[in-house]
Amino acid sequence: MASPGNATDIQHGGRFALDLGGGVDVPPGHDGLSLGGIWHLGAEVAVSEKLALALRIGTAANKSEDRRVIIGNTPRIVDLHAVSVIGLLLRRDLSEGSVRPYLIAGLGYYTSWDDFHPGGNGGKGTVFRSGIGFQAGAGSALWLGRRFDAYGESLYHLAPDPNDDARYLAFLGGLRIFLGRKRSIS
């Protein structure tokens, strides 16, 4: 049985953690883009019994089915559309125990790009766009033992510029590895 002074260690499994996740991203409302894949790496610190702050970096990528970009007044066919994000996320656990649902929200800097085919008077190339984006979602973590949590979450990335297509819904699963976890839930 843990003492009350170790509540943060019990709830979060330790003050620091690393996580690796992957899944599927859905580009809602973007004609010509198919379902894609997404990955991220993260590092987090528990700031209280129910709150953790994470720094994540990752990329969502989608193959193009019939997407075009305009380069020098010439439509070009896109091969790949991707969005990379580095951001700060705040996770709030909603309950304690071996299964812990949570809410997640954050702010990040993104770069989206389209790789396009050679054509017209030009060769292959890439078009880039960047900006500040917002992320929000929900998930649940499953305590796997002394140092690990498995988690699943859905996360929406929103680019506030209505002309930017760096908006997507991601369904992720991953593993969180706690550094220094010594206790288990009793």
Enclosing H/E stretch for 148: strand 148-158
Looking at residue 151, what is its pLDDT?
96
CA 130 to chain centre: 17
- What is the pLDDT, as a whole number, of residue 56? 96
pLDDT of residue 120: 61
78 Ramachandran zone, left/alpha/beta (phi>0; psi -120 to 50): beta
Q: What pLDDT, on the 0 to 100 scale, is given for residue 181?
A: 58
Contact 46, 11 (CB under 8 A): yes
- Rounded CA-CA distance 58/107 in Å is 13
- The DSSP 8-state label assigned to residue 117 in this structure reads -
107 has a pLDDT exceeding 90: yes
Q: pTM score, two decimals?
A: 0.82
Please give the pLDDT value at position 122. 67
Mind listing the pLDDT tens digit for each residue in 145-178? 878 899 999 999 988 887 777 888 999 999 999 8
Domain 4-178, CATH = 2.40.160.20
